[in-house]
Amino acid sequence: MKTTIKLLIIGLIAFGCKKDPVETDPAKAILGKWECIASGNGSSMIPISHPNGYIEFLPDSVMNDYVYETKICTSFKYFVDSLLHYYQYADDGMVFDNKFKITFTDHNKTMNLELQQPFATFHNFTYKRIN
């Protein structure tokens, strides 16, 4: 009787607790809406208690940057290889390739972006996924 109960408990533990698979491809994991919750440099991150908007990555390589207060949405083109690249276009026709090292934590619910340009004020940004 004790052996049967032990086998039943082991079976429930082994087969009853299925975890959702975590997407490992950053080009797929990035899809969705994200709010910035902290920015700074390295370990000196400043929490953001009231995000001013969100960014949304769509499957067709379009990134939308939405500002809550003004209700203005700006779109950019992006792609992901070993880095996240998104392109900003200046009025004079210049194109800026913003490059970020991208990592995900907490089952892809948190995204960390590290800006790869040397002269930025802030280099690190932490985002949380929103619905």
The answer to whether residues 88 and 95 touch, using CB atoms and an 8 Å cutoff, is yes
41-56 pLDDT, tens per residue?
888 999 999 999 999 9
106-119 pLDDT, tens per residue?
999 999 999 998 77
105 or 5, higher pLDDT: 105
Q: How far apart are CA 94 and CA 78, in angstroms?
A: 16
Place of tokens 């070993």: 82
5-40 pLDDT, tens per residue?
655 566 555 555 556 688 889 999 999 999 999 999
Query: Which long-range contacts does 101-109 make (Cβ < 8 Å, 24+ apart)?
Result: 102/26, 102/30, 104/26, 104/29, 107/20, 107/22, 108/22, 108/23, 108/29
Task: Please give the pLDDT value at position 15.
Answer: 59
What does each C-alpha distance from 46 to 34, 76, 107, 108, 120 come to in angstroms?
A: 17, 26, 23, 21, 16
